[in-house]
Amino acid sequence: MKIAVFSSKPYDRRYFETYNKDYNYELSFFDTNLNAQTSNLTQDFDVVCVFVNDQLGKEVIKALANNGVKLIALRCAGFNNVDLEAAEQYGIKVTRVPAYSPQAVAEHALALILTLNRKTHKAYNRVKEGNFSLDNLIGFNVYNKTVGVIGTGKIGQAFCKIMLGLGCKVLAYDVTPQGALEEAGVTYVTLEELYKGSDIISLHCPLLPATQHLINDKSIAQMKTQVMIINTSRGGLINTEDVVKNLKDRKVGYLGIDVYEQEENVFFEDKSEQIIEDDTLLKLISFPNVLITSHQAFLTSEALTEISKTVFSNIYEFVNNQSLTNEVKQ
C-alpha cells in the first residue's frame, strides 16, 4: 500500500513513522500542499493522506482518480476542503479523524483567552528586555463573565466544561443541543441572545454554507462593546474585513484566532524572511488586541498520537474491505 502524505512536517513524519511500525505501509512524505499544481505527484499511489490546507476540489479529485488513488485519508476532523460529490463520482472513498483530542483544541481556546486578557505574551517580552513595568497590562477576571459557545460538539463541550470550571456563566447555541451540557449548567439560547449576553464568544461549529461568515458586521452589531471573539474552528466562520472594521471602531475589544480564511499559503510556514502580501493579515497582526496562532490548537503529543493511530486504522479497514468507521459521505 503506497501512501502519499501531503503538507507533511517533521512532527507528522515522526509520529507516522512510529505508528507505521504496526502496519509497514510504504509512506512518501511531501512538504507541498496537494492542489491542482501538485496532483501529478500522486501517480502510482493508492492513498493520499491530507490535512486542512490541501485543496481537493473536483479537478484534483479527477486527477487522483486518473492516477489510481482510491482513498483520501484526511488527518483532520474538518472536511470542508474536499469535494465529496466529486469523490463519490470518481469512486474515491474519504475518511477522517473525527476526534483526535477535543481537549487540545478547547485548551488552546482557553490559552488565547487568558493570553489576550492578561497579556502574558507582552509581559514575557518586556521582562526579557529588563522592563518590569505594569503599564497597559490590566486584564479582567474571567470568573463570573458570560461566555458564548457556538457549536457544542466534541470540542465545544470540552470548552464549555473548562469555562464552567473557571466560574463563568456559559451560554450556548447549536442546531442540536446536548442535554448533558444543560445538566452541567450550560444554558442554550438563540444566536441573538448569545451575541447580546456574552463577554467572550468562542466558535466551535464547522464551516458550512450555513456558518460561513457567521461573524460579520450584522452579528457584531448585536454583541457587547469590547467583546472578545475566539476562533479555533475554521477561518471562514469570520468575515475578516468586517472584524477589522469593528476592531478599528473599538466595538470588538479582543480577537484571538488560530485559523484565518486566507491561511492556506501562510500558516505552517516560516515566512520571517519574506514580505507578506496579505494586507488584511498584516493589519490584523498590527493590532495590539489581536492574537494569532498558526493553526496549532490541535498540536499536542496526545493528538498527534491519536491522529497517526486513526489514519492507519482507517487505511487498514479500507485495505481489508472492512466497513469504514470514519468514512465521510456527502
Residues marked active site are found at 234, 263, 295
Task: Please give the single-letter amino acid code of residue 207.
Answer: L
What's the gap between Cα 115 and its chain centre? 18
Closest CA to 84 of 57, 54, 62, 63: 57
Nearer to ligand NAD, 87 or 155 (CB): 155
Using CB under 6 A, pick the residue from 71, 155, 168, 238 that binds ligand NAD. 155
Beta bridge partners of 201: 148, 229
What's the gap between Cα 44 and its chain centre? 31
Looking up cell 454583541 gives 223
Nearer to ligand NAD, 94 or 297 (CB): 297
Looking up cell 460538539 gives 153
Check residue 110 for interaction with ligand NAD (CB under 6 A). Answer: no
Nearer to ligand NAD, 26 or 182 (CB): 182
Closest distance of CB 52 from ligand NAD, Å = 8
Dihedral of the alpha carbons of 256, 258, 263, 265, in degrees to the nearest 10: 130
Using CB under 6 A, pick the residue from 75, 145, 154, 224 that binds ligand NAD. 154
**Gyration radius of the chain over CA positions:** 21
Using CB under 6 A, pick the residue from 107, 174, 241, 264 that binds ligand NAD. 174
Alpha helices in the chain (DSSP H): 10-20, 58-67, 84-89, 102-118, 120-128, 154-165, 179-184, 191-197, 217-221, 240-248, 279-286, 301-319
Angstrom distance (rounded) from CA 188 to CA 151 = 11
Using CB under 6 A, pick the residue from 69, 259, 281, 315 that binds ligand NAD. 259
Nearer to ligand NAD, 173 or 195 (CB): 173
Size, binding site for ligand NAD by CB under 6 A: 30
Question: All 3 cell numbers of residue 191?
Answer: 444566536
Check residue 293 for interaction with ligand NAD (CB under 6 A). Answer: no
Closest distance of CB 231 from ligand NAD, Å = 9
Which range touches ligand NAD (CB under 6 A), out of 58-66, 115-123, 200-208, 283-291?
200-208
Angstrom distance (rounded) from CA 227 to CA 198 = 7
In our burial notation (b when 16+ CB lie closer than 10 A, e otherwise), range 39-50 reads: bebbeebbbbbb
Check residue 96 for interaction with ligand NAD (CB under 6 A). Answer: no
Contact 147/131 with Cβ under 8 angstroms? no
Check residue 275 for interaction with ligand NAD (CB under 6 A). Answer: no
Check residue 65 for interaction with ligand NAD (CB under 6 A). Answer: no
Nearer to ligand NAD, 148 or 156 (CB): 156
Which range touches ligand NAD (CB under 6 A), out of 15-23, 128-136, 140-148, 171-179?
171-179
Closest distance of CB 290 from ligand NAD, Å = 17
Q: Which of residues 201-230 bind ligand NAD (CB under 6 A)?
A: 204-206, 208, 210-211
Contact 172/158 with Cβ under 8 angstroms? no
Using CB under 6 A, pick the residue from 1, 41, 84, 99 that binds ligand NAD. 99
Q: Which of residues 180-199 bind ligand NAD (CB under 6 A)?
A: none
Contact positions toward ligand NAD, by CB under 6 A?
Answer: 77-78, 99, 102, 105, 150-156, 173-176, 204-206, 208, 210-211, 232-234, 258-259, 295, 297-298
